Amino acid sequence: MVKLTKEESQSLVDLANEARQRAYVPYSNYPVGSALRTKTGRIYTGVNIENAAYPHTMCAERVAIFKAVSDGESEFDAIAVVTNNAGSPCGGCRQVMAEFGLDTIVLIADGTGNLKKEMTVAELLPEAFTPDHLQ
């Protein structure tokens, strides 16, 4: 597992908070931004994108992960998630994160950019169902 410096963590939080300003949230008014760092050092941001047909809404974390995977990246160091109140990733996002590595660092911050929690995906989703279970 990689160890992030305070500056690296804050940079990811700041990028996620900046991305959050572009969230499409006309129904909940709950903007979420994320910033994902791959093991190659590339950064992918994401925002939550709502839809009038609620099940088709997409979370910021999954947007960033899917963008990275679509560019050929599938190994991640860290992901920052920023909401107004430092809300935690949903179960669906936790499961998608687990798909790509239980050691990925998860940074959770509030809308002022203050880091509130730091943990691994394994800590966020104990006893995760992973590809190894399909062997």
What whole-number distance in Å separates Cα of residue 106 and Cα of residue 108?
Answer: 6
Q: Which of 7, 8, 61, 127 is catalytic?
A: 61
Class of residue 126 by CB neighbours under 10 A (exposed 0-12, middle 13-18, buried 19+):
exposed
User: Is 123 a known active-site residue?
Assistant: no
The β-bridge partners of 46 are 34
- Buried-exposed string 7-46: b where 16+ CB fall within 10 A, e elsewhere: ebbbbbbbbbbebbeebeeeeeeebbbbbbbbeeeebbbb
Q: Which residues contact 18 (CB under 8 A, 6 or more apart)?
A: 33, 45
The β-bridge partners of 58 are 49
Q: Which sequence positions are flagged as catalytic? A: 61
